[in-house]
C-alpha cells in the first residue's frame, strides 16, 4: 500500500511523464507534416484545385483520405489508378466516358479548371498515407508481364474494356482484337471512333499521336 504522500507523488510524476511524452509526440508529428504532405509542392494551381473541389462539393459524392461520401469512387489515389488523361476526360464530359451509366454531374469546367483539379488530385495522391487506401483488385490482374501493357492502356482503356478478364465491362473485351482488326483500322478507331462507326458509344479520347501509335501496336499484337 502506498502512503498518501507516495500516491500523490506517483500521480504527479506519472502525469508529468505522460504530458511530456504527449508533447514530444505532438512536436514530432508536426515536424513530419511538411514532408509527408508534400508541402513544398503545394502550388497555386493545387490550391485553386482544392478551392474548386470545395466549392463544387465534390465530397458530397467522393472521398479523399477517407473523408467524404461513399456514393462515388474514392479519389485519394485516382491519378495512380487512372492517370491524368482519364481524370481530365471524366471532368470534361462524364457521360461521354460512360454513356448511359455514369451519374456524375456535368460541371462544365473549362480547361484551366480541369488542369487545376488534376493538379490537386495529383498532389493528394503523393501524400504519405501509410498505405491507405489499399490497391484495388483491378490493379492485381495480369495478362502476361504487366510491364508489357502501356501505361495509357492500364489507366484509360481498362476503365471500359477488359483484357484477360481484367478491366471494365462497359465496352467489349479486347482479347484477340489483333486478329479481328488490322493496325490501320485500330489506329483510325482510336483517333476518332465516331468517324469509323457513327453512333458508337465510345468517346473520342484525348490521346496524343504517340499514345495512339503505342496502343495500336499493343492492341494489334493481341491474339497473334
Q: CATH topology of 39-125 equal to that of 142-220?
A: yes
pLDDT digits (tens, 9 = 90+) for 48-70: 999 999 999 999 999 999 899 98
H/E stretch holding 123 reads: helix 111-125
Does 137 score more than 60 pLDDT? no
Which pLDDT score is estimated for 118?
Answer: 97
pLDDT band at residue 99 under the 50/70/90 scheme: confident
Q: Which residues contact 163 (CB under 8 A, 6 or more apart)?
A: 143, 149, 173, 174, 175, 222
Tell me if the pTM is above 0.85.
no
DSSP SS3 for 104? coil
Does 100 score more than 80 pLDDT? no
Question: Per CATH, which fold does 142-220 belong to?
Answer: Cytochrome Bc1 Complex; Chain D, domain 2 (1.10.760)
Rounded to whole angstroms, the Cα distance separating 75 from 136 reads 12
100-109, 120-129, 176-185, 190-199: least confident range: 100-109
Q: Domain ranges for the chain, please list them.
A: 39-125, 142-220
**C-alpha torsion sign, points 45, 49, 50, 54:** positive
Tally of CA atoms within 13 A in the half-sphere of 164 that contains its CB: 14
Question: Per CATH, which fold does 39-125 belong to?
Answer: Cytochrome Bc1 Complex; Chain D, domain 2 (1.10.760)
Instruction: Name the grid cell of 12.
Output: 504527479
Check if the beta carbon of residue 120 is closer than 8 Å to that of residue 53: yes
Amino acid at each position: 500500500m502506498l502512503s498518501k504522500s507516495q500516491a500523490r507523488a506517483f500521480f504527479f510524476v506519472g502525469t508529468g511523464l505522460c504530458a511530456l511524452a504527449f508533447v514530444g509526440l505532438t512536436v514530432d508529428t508536426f515536424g513530419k507534416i511538411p514532408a509527408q504532405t508534400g508541402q513544398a509542392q503545394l502550388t497555386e494551381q493545387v490550391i485553386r484545385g482544392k478551392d474548386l473541389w470545395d466549392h463544387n462539393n465534390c465530397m458530397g459524392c467522393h472521398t479523399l483520405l477517407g473523408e467524404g461520401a461513399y456514393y462515388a469512387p474514392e479519389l485519394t489515389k485516382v491519378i495512380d489508378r487512372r492517370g491524368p488523361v482519364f481524370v481530365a476526360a471524366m471532368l470534361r464530359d462524364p457521360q461521354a466516358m460512360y454513356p448511359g451509366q455514369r451519374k456524375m454531374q456535368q460541371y462544365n469546367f473549362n480547361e484551366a479548371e480541369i488542369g487545376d483539379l488534376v493538379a490537386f488530385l495529383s498532389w493528394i495522391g503523393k501524400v504519405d498515407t501509410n498505405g491507405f487506401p489499399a490497391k484495388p483488385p483491378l490493379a492485381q490482374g495480369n495478362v502476361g508481364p504487366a510491364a508489357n501493357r502501356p501505361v495509357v492502356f492500364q489507366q484509360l482503356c481498362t476503365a471500359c474494356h477488359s483484357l484477360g478478364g481484367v478491366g471494365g465491362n462497359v465496352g467489349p473485351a479486347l482479347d484477340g482484337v489483333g486478329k479481328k482488326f488490322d493496325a490501320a483500322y485500330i489506329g483510325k478507331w482510336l483517333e476518332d471512333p465516331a468517324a469509323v462507326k457513327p453512333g458508337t458509344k465510345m468517346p473520342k479520347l484525348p490521346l496524343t499521336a504517340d499514345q495512339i501509335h503505342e496502343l495500336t501496336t499493343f492492341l494489334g499484337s493481341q491474339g497473334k
